[in-house]
Structure 1
């Protein structure tokens, strides 16, 4: 039950903060508004604090940056083209935007493909 409540709360926050708005996302990618950068910055700070409070161990930095760079480029391209990153996809589907089912299918296909290919990718 707590996960359902958390998901509903997440959806409400994403919707009310306009973080799921295609126009807000396009403003961000065009550097026309600070709105989304403020939301992302708040999430990054909350994530850092949460990881530090849980004393999470991180992998060595010298071997992972290329994978993060490549993954970030793919993620950012998909985000810019569709106007949604993974969390808002579900919020938008819940709001009745059925076209986001195609975006969800693409995200799932990409995740599945990575699972199949990850052992063949350079470390």
Structure 2
């Protein structure tokens, strides 16, 4: 039986290992992200594509089946906002943490932006949109 403490330690170790790898292959570098988004260097884009391909193969091998369903109303606007923020700031939610860990302190602005953005999104949803997002926040 796993304990919460053991799972927490395993998650911390896995997160540190991922951060180390991401920082050392250059994926935490704003210039590298910019080259990907402007299609000047496809290395990072191909790495993402390779990761998706590996997940597809593993899911096929372990026979994960999921019937296609209706797309949640927040997926498209959320994806647009996420992609825009990523392109502008040079980081999805995990990358700024890696950037701060490597000494790039301007990434703190991105982290603050992520926190504020989540709070504003929740407020707008509660006040105006009323989308059912309870299952997504667990």
Q: TM-score range by the shorter chain?
A: 0.7 to 0.9
CA RMSD of aligned residues (A): 2.4
Gaps of 5+ in 2: 1-8, 132-138
Contact 2:30 2:90 in 1 (8 A): yes
Q: Does residue 111 of structure 1 match 2:118? A: yes
Higher gyration radius (CA): 2
User: Partner of 1:32 in structure 2?
Assistant: 40
Cα shift readout 1:69-123 (whole Å, capped 9, x = no counterpart): 2111111111111111111111111112221111101101111222233343275
Q: Return the alpha-carbon distance in structure 1 between the equivalents of residues 84 and 119 of structure 2.
A: 18
The correspondence for 1:43, drawn from 40, 51, 54, is: 51
The correspondence for 1:85, drawn from 89, 92, 98, is: 92
Gaps of 5+ in 1: none
TM-score of the superposed pair, with normalisation by structure 2: 0.73
